[in-house]
Chains A and B, each alone.
Chain A
Amino acid sequence: MSNISTNEFRSGVKVMLDNDPCNILENEFVKPGKGQAFNRVKLRSLKTGRVLERTFKSGDTLPAADVVDMEMQYLYNDGESWHFMNNETYEQYTANEIVMGEAKLWLKGQETCMITMYNGAPLTVMPPNQVILTVTETDPGLKGDTVSGSGKSATLETGAVVRVPLFVEQGELIKVDTRTGQYVSRVK
């Protein structure tokens, strides 16, 4: 695998750090006028999701991470694993709960997800930016209540809990932004 130098570290570049694949978030060149140059880099571990801060000597390298992003359709959950299919090759892959992370809150089936593959297996799962889900449980909105500006909580068919406006009722479809976990709109 090729090596990547600090001057090629850009947001989105995937590298191996301490034997774990990481996604580079930020790269700041730090150099006092009369001193040595360093690169102050923020990376997200693709395994744990943790953000790491590391400083490198300018010009140092890291091995490129052998990861590739693939679009896959979410099929079903067998109680332990989540099953996905590559729509071009029809190959199927499974992801465990750790790999799923927050994505498991938003998937009910058929959604197209972006899966980062590492060593032939899913490493991370990105759900669509927005999903449409049914509200399975929420308190009836109180008429005339204008005080509770922050709305009420609602449980969705996938088990996710989101804040919704008071007018949203049980059984309705709503659109949610998976990046923020926030209600977007009602869907008729």
Chain B
Amino acid sequence: MSPESNNLEWRPNASFDNLRLRATILQKIRQFFFERKVLEVETPVLGKFTITDRHIASLTVPTTHHGDYFLQTSPEYAMKRLLSAGSGCIYQICKAFRAAEIGQRHNPEFTLLEWYRINFNHFQLMTEINDLITLILNTPPAEKITYAELFNQHFNFDIHHGLDGDLKNLILQAGWLNFTPDSLDRDTCLQLLMSHTIEPNLGHAAPLFVYDFPKSQAALARLNPTQPNVAERFELYIQGFEIANGFHELSDPQEQEQRFLQDQQQRHELGEPIPIIDPRLLAALKQGLPDCAGVALGIDRLIMLAAKESHINQVIAFNWQNS
């Protein structure tokens, strides 16, 4: 044994009170879904394919006989394969991994609650999320606002018709950017204003759902049929931070493939690694994903809120650096 090992950090970085709270919350979540007859499932954490999203980086695991595998950044694709195969409503509590995401609210390994409700649209799912959040955090009923209305209220800016130049001026006026916004695309500009100026104010009186994201930030949500410049995507904000992201799920395999190809193209332009599009997900979508809404909710952040902690390290036993 080396002499330094006595001083080596080995204790948990979270208190046992918070770890007990974590266990209680997980138990409540399982009870919630049991009562609603939503089936608990498990899908691979280590998978043959990964996502193409240009802003999410996977951790790669070399295997002895089968090439590189990927730690999953979310269980979404595997769960959609279950849904397409006829599972009915399902939920999962699992570990997910995202490379290089370390901070007050980020640990590269984290716990997600993800669930899918068949024949729900995103509004019905928001109602159910509100029920779960109320049960755990005892919060007043959640409120809703569109992405466009948020920018209208905070900056008097029209997200659909406002000029890129005006958007960049808003960022320049704020004064905190340490580089020129010239190279930033429109969505990144919107996200910067969202994270720096808007988000800290959201969800203090009551949880707040932000919905109708711009089409360009649709991710895996379907577009609104009556207003095709917005996607049926939402995020939930509580006490100034984002805790969940959900969609009325896109089920059109062609459109989905187009979006994946676009991701790959953007990654190509940025000189980033280009993952293969998950062929099993596309095959499942071609078979037919039932009309459903789904959401991913950050369990660690939920526990931070319940424990009134400001750092994710206070609610996970061993963080990335202490693993």
Contacts and interface: CB of A to CB of B under 8 A. Distances in A.
Contacts of B104: 28-29
Given A31-B106, A55-B192, A55-B196, A37 B176 contact: no
Contacts of A144: none
A60 interface: yes
B87 interface: no
A47 interface: no
Interface string B288-306: 0000000010000000000
Interface in A35-54: 35-38, 40, 53-54
A55 B53 CA distance: 23
A35 B55 contact: yes
B252 interface: no
A55 B174 CA distance: 11
Interface residues of B, number: 28
Contact of B217 (A7, A34, A38, A58): A34
B100 A57 contact: no
B188 interface: yes
A55 B105 CA distance: 17
A64 B275 CA distance: 36
B176 A54 contact: yes
A147 to B, nearest CB: 39
A82 interface: no
A32 interface: yes
Contacts of B42: none
A56 B192 CA distance: 11
Nearest to B191: A35
A29 B219 contact: no
Contact of A34 (B100, B178, B245): B245
Bin the interface of chain A by size: 20 to 34
A33 interface: yes
A33 to B, nearest CB: 5
Given A31-B106, A34-B217, A7 B100 contact: yes
Contacts of B100: 7, 37, 58
Contacts of A17: 178
Contact of A57 (B102, B179, B194): B179
A42 to B, nearest CB: 10
A5 to B, nearest CB: 11
A19 to B, nearest CB: 13
A54 B192 CA distance: 12
Nearest to B73: A33
Interface in B55-70: 55-56
Interface in B95-112: 100-106
Interface string B182-210: 00000110011011100000000000000
Nearest to A35: B191
Given A55-B176, A55-B177, A32 B194 contact: yes
Given A34-B217, A40-B196, A29 B242 contact: no
B53 A34 contact: yes
Interface in A1-16: 7
Interface string B63-89: 000000000000000000000000000
Interface in B14-29: none
13 contacts: A7-B100, A29-B101, A30-B196, A31-B103, A32-B194, A32-B195, A35-B217, A36-B55, A38-B192, A55-B177, A56-B179, A58-B100, A60-B178
Interface of B: 53, 55-56, 100-106, 175-179, 187-188, 191-192, 194-196, 217, 219, 235, 242, 245, 296
- By Cβ-Cβ distance, the 8 closest A-B pairs, closest first, are A29-B103, A35-B191, A54-B178, A30-B195, A53-B176, A55-B176, A32-B191, A33-B245
